[in-house]
Structure 1
């Protein structure tokens, strides 16, 4: 059971002021990867690739399987590793005493935090293997890995938003986190676009589904970048760990 284990496990992890580099690297690497693929496709005159289902807008996997595949593999590797670090950083700072120090968090949030981290790690691993098996002769494996990637990303996004909801809506203990409401809004947009993409995809409406896939991936890069606000150490503002005197009961 994750309750109370989560803050204890992170208690002895050395605090760092550079955790915000994880979401920065994840967002920039993913944005750069998909932008390179899109620019390459446009530069080639918008060709139609073998096995491409969508006649108008190719899916990312269509371009990556035939054009700049090493770029796609390298980009997914960097993005996956950075995303795993992002999930750790986002949930670490919540309980680290050198950051927000919410060690008295309720049980369900601690459990949810641990589940969000596991889902994020699963998404990172799936993304790496998705890039490796993004070939015409590995269609079935590609579909399973795609579902694993989107499923892990979606689950980690929703669970992370649920954990941090108390700091992004209503009275927040840390004023700096009030600006991170944009992260929750981006998460909600991704869920809506993702569900619409799945519906259109399986109903055979490939053209709008193609546009939605590209929209979803670009939204994901901005969602990753928004985690910088959670993990950026603010000297003299946030965090402010209560002193022993402040923790002492008034009627001791």
Structure 2
């Protein structure tokens, strides 16, 4: 019979934290595609006051405020919950030493900031779906800003945390380096598009703003999926395995010391 440890590792291959970014990204892109396909299939209708504004490309929320509103709310809720749990999972697994742990208090604080930002952004996403743009236009725009702001704060905290981690583990974990650069690229692209979206909306260039919003929504799927780079290695690790990883450089006096006694097998995982 397999040992308890072997059974636990086998279980993690089929049910682990990496399921949250996977499910969240599938649900989110599925929601967006359902809205878009429905719009095309119904003859590309003009919702609300789109015609009066000279708008022929709908915002995501224009379609989500129509008869597909229950789908939009459900997809937004599942995505928001999975987004928060993906970040919480990374924090928990680092604390348990099942993936590369934080090496300073500053990194832990940045991780908490990213989780708080995700919670704020997730609540914004749920509320903007509930308070749709047709019936509650002012509230909808407020919650849209909350969603964008929360996600950007969360992404910035994550990028800064991973920047510090990558400096410490660059010689022992190529996966961490790839994850850090992936999130950094997504952050700058999403930031640039969010600014462009705000400027276009303010100037009522609605068709261009709608295109930017759809691109932002689709790219969020990729950002959510990028957490699999961090969470999937936990399916092959045990508690405390990475707590003694060899650092790429000595930690400063302001950082928490770590003992450098990693094994060759540990140094290539993660």
Tell me the TM-score range normalised by the shorter chain.
Answer: 0.7 to 0.9
Aligned counterpart, 2:244: 242
Question: Is residue 2:39 matched to residue 1:50?
Answer: no
Tell me, what secondary structure is at the counterpart of 1:37?
Answer: helix
Cα 1:83–1:147, aligned 2, differ >3 Å: closer, same or farther?
A: same
Cα 1:170–1:114, aligned 2, differ >3 Å: closer, same or farther?
A: closer
Tell me, what secondary structure is at the counterpart of 2:93?
Answer: helix
Aligned counterpart, 2:191: 191
RMSD over equivalenced CA pairs, Å: 2.6
1:178, CA displacement in angstroms? Answer: 2.3
Aligned counterpart, 1:231: 231
* CA offsets 1:56-111 (integer angstroms, 9 cap, x no match): 21101111111311111111111111111112123333333232233xx2232222
Aligned counterpart, 2:116: 118
1:54, CA displacement in angstroms? Answer: 5.9
Question: Is residue 2:177 matched to residue 1:175?
Answer: no
2:97–2:242 Cα contact (<8 Å) kept: no
Query: Which range moved further: 162-171 or 16-25?
Result: 162-171
Give 5+ residue unaligned stretches, structure 2. 1-8, 246-257, 262-270
1:54–1:210 Cα contact (<8 Å) kept: no
Tell me, what secondary structure is at the counterpart of 2:99?
Answer: coil
Number of residue-to-residue matches in the alignment: 231
Cα 1:233–1:54, aligned 2, differ >3 Å: closer, same or farther?
A: farther
Query: Which range moved further: 33-42 or 177-186?
Result: 177-186
Aligned counterpart, 2:209: 209
Cα 1:239–1:204, aligned 2, differ >3 Å: closer, same or farther?
A: farther
1:175, CA displacement in angstroms? Answer: 2.7
Give 5+ residue unaligned stretches, structure 1. 1-14
What is the alpha-carbon distance in structure 1 between the residues aligned to residue 260 and residue 223 of structure 2?
40
Tell me, what secondary structure is at the counterpart of 1:247?
Answer: coil
